[in-house]
Amino acid sequence: FRIHIPPELQLAAIGFVFASLFLGEIRDYYTRFWWWDMALHTMSGFLLGILGFLLVHILNETEKLQVHMKPGFVAFFAFMFALGVGALWEIFEFTMDSMFGMNMQKPMLGDPSGLTDTMWDLIVDALGALIISILGWRYLKNPDERSFLERWIDSFVERNPRFFKR
């Protein structure tokens, strides 16, 4: 599709993968720092929220499709997209733990079932997605106000002009 991802988004995604795989698993940050898993799930909510927002924003701006979704719907979709992918990840973790005896859910003290971990993961996924959804809604409603997300979206639009009418 020849989609050009802005360097800031690439760095955020690379940082997330590094933090989860190398620091989290290899350097054992998941057990060394009680908040590590929550921080990464919040970050995944951010990244998935941005991805969901950009997907709908591209559809909204494509001239080939005669569709125009309101900013509230775009923000709602971004939120639900991020939360849906987060829920699918939790199902994946549960399946890996149940079928292959892995320890992806990292059960907390007093809860060997992993339910508390799963619920906190979904809560912070939702928090990250909500923040991005609000910023995305603000971007569509008030294009003059600038936050980091607005700069990233503008950079994405500038690097991928064929997806957006001008």
Query: Mean pLDDT score of the chain, rounded to an integer?
Result: 88
Q: For the segment 37-61, what is each residue's pLDDT rounded down to a tens digit?
A: 999 999 999 999 999 999 998 888 7
Instruction: Give the pLDDT mean for 11-21.
Output: 95
Q: Quick check: 79 pLDDT over 90? A: yes
* Range picked from 60-64, 65-69, 74-78 for highest mean pLDDT: 74-78
pLDDT at 165: 65
- Quote the CA–CA distance of 126 and 132 in Å, as a whole number: 10
Q: How high is the pLDDT of residue 31?
A: 86
pLDDT interval class at 78 (50, 70, 90): very high
Express each pLDDT in 92-143 by its tens digit: 999 998 999 888 887 666 777 778 889 999 999 999 999 999 999 998 888 7
How far apart CA 16 and CA 74 sit, in angstroms, is: 24
Q: Is the pLDDT of residue 73 over 90?
A: yes
Instruction: Give bridge partners of residue 111 from the DSSP assignment.
Output: 108
pLDDT at 42: 95
**DSSP one-letter code for 20:** I
- What whole-number distance in Å separates Cα of residue 69 and Cα of residue 107? 41
Whole-Å CA distances, 126 to 80, 137, 159: 9, 16, 29
